[in-house]
Structure 1
Amino acid sequence: MLRTATTTALCGLMIATLPGCVRTVTSAATLPFRAANQTADWMTTSQSEADRNRGKKLRKKCEKEYNPDYCGN
């Protein structure tokens, strides 16, 4: 009788803690993929970022020396 009660209590405890374990395992399994995606995002430049950087470079160049070929007005 004691063994059955102990087994039932142990099973109840395992079932109660199982969702936390599943969540932890899922989080640990997806971590490398999230890290790889973030690294790829940091290492690549989007087209809008490239355009913004090019415009900034041209404005600085116009401030230093005026040239009607690449400066507006």
Structure 2
Amino acid sequence: MRRLLILAAAGLPLLSGGCIAKTIVDVATLPVRATGQVVDWSTTSQEESDRNYGRKMREREAREGKERKKRDKECRKNPHKCEAYDGYRAGPDGD
């Protein structure tokens, strides 16, 4: 009986096809993979940065377009009050 138990325990890794070893490796590497994922979530990629900058510039240009349109409408109503456009300018200096 004891001999059968020892043989079964010795043969178990061979029958499992390495599943136990793979599980041990997966458990051991889990903290490293989790840390890598956290770093990935906490940093901004260049592509994401470019996308955000493009969105920001489109919003600025839309704001400038609305302001210019409003000014042009006012100038058509009261041409004697119109002066050179001195409103919002889209771009890094526009804030």
TM-score of the two chains, using structure 1 as the length reference: 0.71
Q: Distance in 2 between matches of 1:10 and 1:45?
A: 50
Partner of 2:45: 46
Evaluate the alpha carbon distance shift between residue 21 and residue 58 of structure 1 in structure 2; reply closer, same or farther with a 3 A threshold. same
Q: Alpha-carbon deviation of 1:18?
A: 6.9
CA shift at 1:17, angstroms?
A: 3.5
Partner of 2:59: 60
Distance 1:9 1:48, change over 3 A: closer
Residue of structure 2 equivalent to 1:24: 23
Gaps of 5+ in 1: none
Query: What TM-score do you get using the length of structure 2 for normalisation?
Result: 0.57
Structure 1 segments, 4+ long, off by >3 Å, are none
Which protein is richer in helix relative to its size?
1
- Structure number with greater CO (CA < 8 Å, separation at least 6) is 2
Counting aligned pairs with the same residue, the percent is 39
C-alpha root-mean-square deviation of aligned residues, in Å? Answer: 2.1
1:19: how far off?
Answer: 1.5
